[in-house]
Amino acid sequence: MKDLLTVMKFTMKDLVTRKSFIISNLIILGIIILAFNIPNIINLFTSDKESGDSNANQTMLIVDAENIFEGTLEQINNMNLGYPVKVSNENLSFEDIKTKIDNKEIDDAIIISNKNGQINLEYIVENLVMITEVPESIVNAITAVYTNLQISKLGLTPEQLQSLAPNFNFEMKQTEQEEVAGNPIVMMLMSMVLFFAIYYTAYQVSASITTEKTSKIIETLVTSTTPRTIVLGKTIGVGIVGLMQIVVFVATALICSALFVEEGTFDGLIDFSKITPFLGIMTIIYFVLGYAVYAFLYALTGSTVSKPEDVQTANGPVAIIAVIGFYLAYFTMANPTSELNKLAAILPISSPFCMPFRIMMGIATNQEMLISIVIMLVTIFIVAKISVRIYSQAILNYGTKITLKDMVNLYKSK
């Protein structure tokens, strides 16, 4: 037990004091802080633009010199377009509008005119680089105002008016019995974050073992402690560092969210009621179990190579398994009640990337969770046993890369 702690401590210290580790984590933290500040950065630039003229506040000017709309255009300001609309009946030319835009009095303008009975709308902006068509909202608003104006001239009764503007009541229902509620963006993000966290943390175990083999320190090490202690110590040590990284990243994200993001910004994207402490605990459990499965697989492949250039090839099969597991979870997430998604939640290669989302969506049953955890624990035990066995037999192989057949023979050997 003392040796296990010593190996763990040493592995952790080795990992966290590496320049590459420190730099990559600082970059990730920087990206998190930057990501939460994107709205502020955008606002910063926007407010700079606005500060030039207090009258210009994303304002649109509608010019109706011929009074085609008979003074009804002011109604547009009651239609919640998100920006104010000024109406003018003056006969303003294109040059007049250009001057107003240049002076930041307005951002854009629409000139309404009647040419041979055809109403013509001319949309004027500073440049058309990012604009391909007239905003649909203003087109709909102008159309509605004009329609109302014409209908009012027909002298219809309130009932007739009501029948022309029906207020439909839409409801959505699903044929599946299970009620699914989730945050698709959060789920996709979390799925990717969990995959990368598990994959790269587990990969460190392989890197650590290979380093010891390629630097030939292993022979001294195995006379100092048992192979089992080395594999377990490394796996736990690297796992703790990985978990600490996630905690630091999540804590940074939460702090950034509290400091830099205005309340309600993510309300349309995330249903915060679904992010519960239970979900947090289960996510950590699945991270730990998923990490253990992949870490022991990487310990196995790491111990079969003796040259740094063979590491990628040897780790290839584990990478493929991880990618299959991830995509199985990721693509079936669109149909969470499907049998395939249920399978992904139980398979040990995919359940760490799948089950947390089923829990978030409220469709994971206790039985499913229990089964998947038991299957993962059994898998971890079997993979760990094989890994320690192969590691013990293969660590002193400084020759060619060990093949699958060699591995089977090594496992069988005394």
Partner 1 sequence: MGLKIEKVSKHYGEKTAVDNISFEVNEPGVFGLLGTNGAGKTTTIRMMLGILKKDEGEITWNGKPVERKNVIFGYLPEERGIYPKIKIYDQLMYFAELKGMKKEEASKEIDYWLGRLKVEEYKNMTAEKLSKGNQQKVQFITAILHDPELIVLDEPFSGLDPVNTELLKGIIIELVEKGKYIIMSSHQMTSIEEFCSNVVIINRGKTVLKGNLKEIKNTYPAKTLEINTKQDISSYIKEFGMEIEKNIDNNYVININSEPKAHELIKKLVSQGIEIDKFELKKPSLNDIFIEKVSQ
When the beta carbons of 233 and 356 are compared against partner 1, the nearer one is 233
7 lies in the binding site for partner 1 (CB under 8 A): yes
What torsion, rounded to 10 degrees, do the Cα atoms 199, 205, 211, 213 define?
Answer: -130
Q: By rule CB under 8 A, what string of x and - marks binding of each residue 8-37 to partner 1?
A: --x--xx---x-------------------
Beta bridge partner(s), residue 113: 120
Q: Site residues for partner 1, window 198-237 (CB under 8 A)?
A: 211-212, 215-225
Q: How far is the CB of 10 from partner 1 (least distance, A)?
A: 5
Choose the binding region for partner 1 from 2-10, 101-109, 360-368, 374-382 (rule: CB under 8 A).
2-10
Distance CA 246, CA 28 (A): 11
Q: How far is the CB of 378 from partner 1 (least distance, A)?
A: 28
When the beta carbons of 194 and 311 are compared against partner 1, the nearer one is 311
Roughly how many angstroms between the first and final C-alpha of the chain, as a whole number? 25
Distance CA 160, CA 141 (A): 22
Burial of 33 (0-12, 13-18, 19+ CB in 10 A): middle
96 lies in the binding site for partner 1 (CB under 8 A): no
Q: How far is the CB of 411 from partner 1 (least distance, A)?
A: 14
137 lies in the binding site for partner 1 (CB under 8 A): no
Distance CA 249, CA 108 (A): 43
On the CB side of 237, how many CA atoms lie within 13 Å of its CA? 26
When the beta carbons of 14 and 310 are compared against partner 1, the nearer one is 14
Q: How far is the CB of 401 from partner 1 (least distance, A)?
A: 17
SS3 170: coil
Q: Site residues for partner 1, window 250-279 (CB under 8 A)?
A: none
406 lies in the binding site for partner 1 (CB under 8 A): no
When the beta carbons of 8 and 380 are compared against partner 1, the nearer one is 8
Residue 16 backbone dihedrals phi, psi, to 5 degrees = -80, -15
Distance from the Cα of residue 85 to its chain's centroid? 37
When the beta carbons of 3 and 96 are compared against partner 1, the nearer one is 3
When the beta carbons of 2 and 173 are compared against partner 1, the nearer one is 2
3 lies in the binding site for partner 1 (CB under 8 A): yes
Amino acid at site 19: K
C-alpha angle 91-72-64 in degrees, rounded to nearest 5: 15
Place of tokens 């697989």: 297
* Residue closest to 232 by CA, chosen among 372, 391, 16: 391
Counting residues that bind partner 1 (by CB under 8 A) gives 24
398 lies in the binding site for partner 1 (CB under 8 A): yes
When the beta carbons of 80 and 223 are compared against partner 1, the nearer one is 223
Find the DSSP H helices in 153-226: 158-164, 184-214, 218-222
When the beta carbons of 148 and 225 are compared against partner 1, the nearer one is 225
The binding site for partner 1 (CB under 8 A) comprises: 2-3, 6-7, 10, 13-14, 18, 211-212, 215-225, 396, 398, 414
